[in-house]
Each structure stands twice: as structure tokens, then as C-alpha cells.
Amino acid sequence: MSIVKQIQSAVINALSTSYHIPFTEKDFQINQTKPEFEGDYTIVLFSLVKSLKKSPEEIGNELGKTLINNNPQLFTSYNIIKGFLNLVVDDQYWIALLQKNHNDICFGKQAMNGKKVMVEYSSPNTNKPLHLGHLRNNFLGWSVAEILKANGYQVLKSCIVNDRGIHICKSMIAWQLFANGATPESTNQKGDHFVGDYYVRFNDEYKKQIAQLKDGGMKEADAEKNAPIMLQTQQMLQDWEAGKPEVMELWKTMNSWVYDGFDITYNRIGSNFDRTYFESNTYLLGKDIVQEGLDKKVFYKKEDGSVWIDLTADGLDEKLVLRKDGTSVYMTQDIGLAKQKYDEYKIDQSIYVIGDEQNYHMKVLKLIAQKLELPYADDIYHLSYGMVELPTGKMKSREGTVVDADDLVDEMINTARHHTEALGKVKDFTSEELVSLYDVIGLGAMKFYLLRVDPKKKMIFNPEESIDFHGFTGPFIQYTFARIKSILRKEKSVSTGAYSGNLLPLEKQVVFVAEQFPNIITDAAKELNPSVIANYLFLLAKTFNSFYSEHSISNAETSHKKDLRLQIAVMTSNILQSGMKLLGISVPERM
């Protein structure tokens, strides 16, 4: 049980026995004591004034005395300043906690709870390579999955690949028109970039044709509809849906190029999935549910045969769920896919890691599912995250203003190499060891950078300023870990005995922060927010570094002190390692 919980129940106990009124943990607040006062945790007394009809000082004194009498093993003293009761926790409590947990690499993790969660993330299109926005999505999805696992959930990571539709046909048409049979192999290009170039090529040509038609006197809207390349693309989409062999052949070939490229990128960033859905397999799903909705009168049919749902009573709009030609729309597919996920895995919760531009869509999806009374409706959860923007505004792949994922990874790994070489600490590394070290540091910096901010908020990325390696960063935490490992390599073993003296302030501070890790893991899961972990790890590393620079571990004043400090170091390194793993980041033994 965490120290805060223990204090909570001690206070509830003390209050109820002293005043014979039932109290709960909501009746008072426990904060960490501010550093300028003596104490570890503080009870805020103001909220008790009304119900007890006593002054804060009076309550504080009575409560402080009772707490110490009833829990001599927990508290050593208290002081009251204004309406705040500051409690000093016994050093022996921290020492016992340290002794018990320092070697536990699973510290903070929950036992399996029997619940199954699916986390869907990444969702790439097969007409262009991954960009910075996908990276935020991937890292978030991965980290949330890890955090849920640590909280005892069984987690399935899934990916829906957007592999069909008009946008896919655009790159196919452009390839037919302009490639002269070129392939990724013949041009020595990564497959996803190769195809992406034809997607851009399509848009260039399309713009040109529109301009020509407008010069010929056509209105803009008509020009957009009648540009020959657009007509060709629409024809291709129809041929695809009809299963025309040569179109299917081209589609399969080009998609396979893209998948080859994606595999490389996913592999580099350390991402994978337990289940991949392809939209080409799911886009027809959901039609039976539309019929069900019509029967239940949740949906209605317009004269032209299209099917709608009226959500105006819920403050939303009318929404199309089936086109007049009977083909399904995005929404229909998503309802169908939600059902398939549920049928396949009997999941208790389905988390969708999707950008906040789709907040409306996801809200409607859930609402429709609820109105249809589908069993999984309430378990749909949209983990909405903000867009990554450039200082100049939104990234647009059509205009080529995207930060490419592969380029960024290359750059980060390069920067890691430059920093490492400049410091010259790993001259004895083999070239393979160096390559993996640069990977770990470069990716660590990038992942930490994208995960350390609240996912809900949009973030600004300035490509001109490279991602930092100092301060609140991944490498800072990796460095702290490597430093500890360096000490531990020189020690034969760490005594597991309990220290019997008192703790110095910096020694206590590290254990104090370490103790919070289990709570942090549950908080991060509650909010589905990896930044909670990132902020905490930074605090722990910083606290340890202050301790480290002030007190020698190997040359401690006494051998008992040395054992104590080694335990502190071991516990810190274990938390840093498992915490970073929750962010999808590795930590190096040396750097």
C-alpha cells in the first residue's frame, strides 16, 4: 500500500475515533510538503473546520498527536503552520521500503486483472510514407499498450491499413502514366517513398490540368471534376471495385512496395501489431448493421435510397450511413470493424488512437453504436491526440511540407552519433555496439520528445531546432541509468540488508520519489497519458543526480552507508528502466 493511502486511512481512523463522525478520504486533502517546511506529507485542515467547528490549529494539534500515538512506526513528528499539518515520516519506513523493493524489477506493476483491451493505432495509408504525425501516433499507441499491460490488462495492438479508395488510385494512375515501368528496385528507392512520389506527381499533374481547363474557359468546380487524370482515377476505382484483373494486379504490386517500406520503418522505430486489418477487407462490413438499424428505426431511408441517422436531438447533425447506390461510407465501415473486433476477441475495451481532427466522427460512431444498443458501444474509447504542427502551420503531404519519419529517424541517430563522438566515452565499443547505441539514444530522444507532452494538446515541432539531448529529455534519463550501471559493474554484490541509521535529506528524497512509481503507473493508465510517466522519470533522474553529485556511493562514509546507497542506486535504475520501457524506450548500459 502506498504511503499516501496509509496516511489517508490513518487520518480517517484518527478522525473517526476522536470525533465520532464518519470521514472518507474526500473530506481532506493530502499534499507533499513544500520543501521550505519540515515534513514529508501535509494534511490540509481547512476542509475539516466546518464539520468539526474548531480552529485549524486545534484540529491540527489533536490530529497530529493522535496520528503519532496510533502510528508510531509511521510518523516521528508533526508541525502546524497556518492550516497545514506537516507530518514527518519515520526514516525506518523509507529504509524498509527500499530494502523490500530495490531489487524488484516488477516494482509498481499490477497483477493480471483478466480484462482484455485492444489498442488501435498507426493507421497508415498505402499511398505515402509515414510522417511525424504517424510517429506521435505510433509512440502513443505503443506506450499506452505498455502502460495498460503494466496495469494488468491483456492488450492487443491492432492496426487498420487504409489500402483502398480514390487516394490509392491516384498514385496508381500517376505510376501508369509517368513511371515507364520503374520500380523501387530499379530506382533504388524505399517502396513507400517511391509510391509517395507518384501521389505527389498526381497532384502536380491534376493542378496543371485544372489550370489548363480554366484557361479554356471552364469554371473551377467543373475543371476539378473533369480533369482527365481525375476521370481516369475514378474509372480505376470502379475497375478496382469490380475486381478487374490488371487493376488488382497493379494495386497488389504497388501496395507490396509500400509494405516493404513500412516494414523497414516499423522495424526501426520498434513498433509492431498483433492484428492488422486491411480496409480492402473491411470496407463492405457494416451493411448488415445498417439493415438492423433500419429495422430498429434508428436509421431512416431518404427518397433517393440513401440511409441516414438523425442526431440533431443530441446536438449533432444528420449523418449518412449508406450511400444512395448502396455502398458504404467511412462510418459504416467503422461500425462494422468495431463489431468484428468485438466478435473476434471479446474485448472489454477498444481504444482508438486517432487525431483530434476526428473527434466528431468518433463521437458519432460511439453514439450510433449506443443507439443500436450494440454490446460493445460503451467500450469504444477515442484516445484523441493533437496534431504535430510546424512553426509555419499544418503539415500537408500534398504540398510536400511534411517531416518524413525516415528522415527524422536518420537525423536523430546522426545527432546521437555526433554527441557521442564528441564526448569520446565509448572508444572501446565495437562498431555494432556503436550502431545500436546511436539507435537507442537517437530514438530515445525522439520518442521522449513526442511523449513528454500531454497527448491531447497539439504540439509544435521546429525542424530548424534539433531535438535536445540535455535537460528534460530521453538521453538525460538514459545517461542517469548508464551512470548507475557503471557503478554497479564495479561492485561485486549489493547487500540486501536493512540500514539501521538515519537518512540524509538527499538519500531520503530519492526513496521518497521512488515510492511513488506504482501510483504513477496507475495514474498514467487512468488518463491513458504517457507524459505522466515521462515527467515522473525526469523527476526521479534529477533527484538521483542531485544525490549522486553530493554523496559518493562507492566511497561512502561507512560500509553500511555504502550498502544503503547501492540499494538506492539499484532501485532507481530499475525504475528508470521499467519506466522507459513503458514509453517504448531502451536504456543503454553505457553511453
Instruction: Please give the residues from 51 up to 110 whose contact with RNA meets the rule CB under 7 A.
Output: 81-84, 86
Angle at alpha carbon of residue 447, lines to 442 and 453, rounded to 5°: 135
Query: Is there binding between residue 591 and RNA (CB under 7 A)?
Result: yes
Distance between CA atoms of residues 178 and 173, nearest Å: 9
Provide the minimum distance between the beta carbon of 216 and RNA in the complex, in angstroms, as a whole number: 25
Residue of 452, 513, 571, 575 interacting with RNA (CB under 7 A): 452
317 binds RNA (CB under 7 A): yes
Chain center to CA of 432: 30
Residues 202, 234: contact at Cβ < 8 Å?
Answer: no
| C-alpha cell at position 315 | 446536438
Q: With contacts defined by CB under 7 A, how many residues of the chain interact with RNA?
A: 89
Residue with cell 486517432: 354
Instruction: Give the nearest distance from C-beta 314 to RNA in angstroms.
Output: 10
Residue 34 binds RNA (CB under 7 A): yes
C-beta of residue 116 within 8 angstroms of C-beta of residue 341: no
| Residue selected from 161, 290, 351, 553 as contacting RNA according to rule CB under 7 A | 553
Which is it for strands 318-322 and 29-32: parallel, antiparallel or unpaired?
unpaired
Q: Which of 16, 17, 31, 69 binds RNA (CB under 7 A)?
A: 31
Instruction: Tell me: does residue 471 bind RNA (CB under 7 A).
Output: yes
Query: What is the greatest pairwise CA distance in the chain?
Result: 94
Q: Contact with RNA (CB under 7 A): which of 263, 357, 378, 557?
A: 357
- Least distance from C-beta 551 to RNA, angstroms? 6
Return the residue of 152, 472, 519, 560 that touches RNA, per CB under 7 A.
Answer: 472
The piece of 344-352, 374-382, 484-492, 514-522 that touches RNA (CB under 7 A) is 484-492
Site string for RNA, 372-411 (x = CB under 7 A): ---------------x------x-----------------
182 binds RNA (CB under 7 A): no
Q: How is 371-388 classified by DSSP, letter by letter?
A: HTT-TTGGGEEEEEEPPE
The helix/strand/coil state of 234 is helix
Binding piece for RNA, criterion CB under 7 A, among 7-15, 165-173, 214-222, 398-406: 165-173
Q: Give me the 320-349 binding string for RNA, x by CB under 7 A, dash otherwise.
A: x--xxx---xx-------------------
- Looking at residue 33, the DSSP 8-state letter turns out to be P
Instruction: Compare residues 377 and 395 and give the one whose CB is closer to RNA.
Output: 395
83 vs 191, beta carbon nearer RNA = 83
Identify the CA nearest to 40 among candidates 92, 82, 83, 77. 77
Task: State the residue for C-alpha cell 483502398.
Answer: 164
Specify the residue, 215 or 303, whose C-beta has the smaller distance to RNA: 303
Single-letter code of the amino acid located at 583: L
Residue 185 or 550: the one with the smaller Cβ distance to RNA is: 550
Q: Please say whether the beta carbons of 442 and 416 come within 8 A.
A: yes
> Of residues 13, 47, 176, 189, which one binds RNA by CB under 7 A?
47
* 370, 362 contact by CB (below 8 A): no
Which CA distances in Å does 548 have to 148, 218, 507, 508, 571? 32, 74, 9, 13, 14
Residues of this chain, 424-443, that bind RNA according to CB under 7 A: 425, 441
Looking at 58, 62, 224, 356, which residue binds RNA (CB under 7 A)?
356
3-class secondary structure, 312: helix
- How far apart (Å, rounded) are the C-alpha atoms in residues 362 and 377? 12
**Pattern of binders to RNA over 513-552, x per CB under 7 A?**
------------------xx--x--x---x--xx-xxxxx
Query: Can you spell out the DSSP letters for 513-572?
Result: HHTTHHHHHHHHHHHT-THHHHHHHHHHHHHHHHHHHHS-STT-SSHHHHHHHHHHHHHH
Q: Judged by CB, which is closer to RNA: 155, or 262?
A: 262
Give phi and psi for 158, each to the nearest 5. -130, 160
Report the amino acid identity of residue 480: T
**Site residues (CB under 7 A) for RNA, limited to 293-312:** 302, 304, 306
For RNA, the binding residues in 228-267 under the rule CB under 7 A are: none
Question: Does residue 476 belong to the site contacting RNA (CB under 7 A)?
Answer: yes
Q: How far is the CB of 527 from RNA (least distance, A)?
A: 8
Nearer to RNA by C-beta: 78 or 153?
78
The distance of closest approach from Cβ of residue 442 to RNA in the complex, given in angstroms and rounded to an integer, is 9
Of residues 37, 291, 346, 401, which one binds RNA by CB under 7 A? 37
The secondary structure of 405-456, three-state, reads HHHHHHHHHHHHHHHHHHHCCCCCCCHHHHHHHHHHHHHHHHHHHHHCCCCC
Of the residues 115, 214, 225, 458, which one makes contact with RNA according to CB under 7 A:
458
CB of 429 to RNA, least distance (A): 11
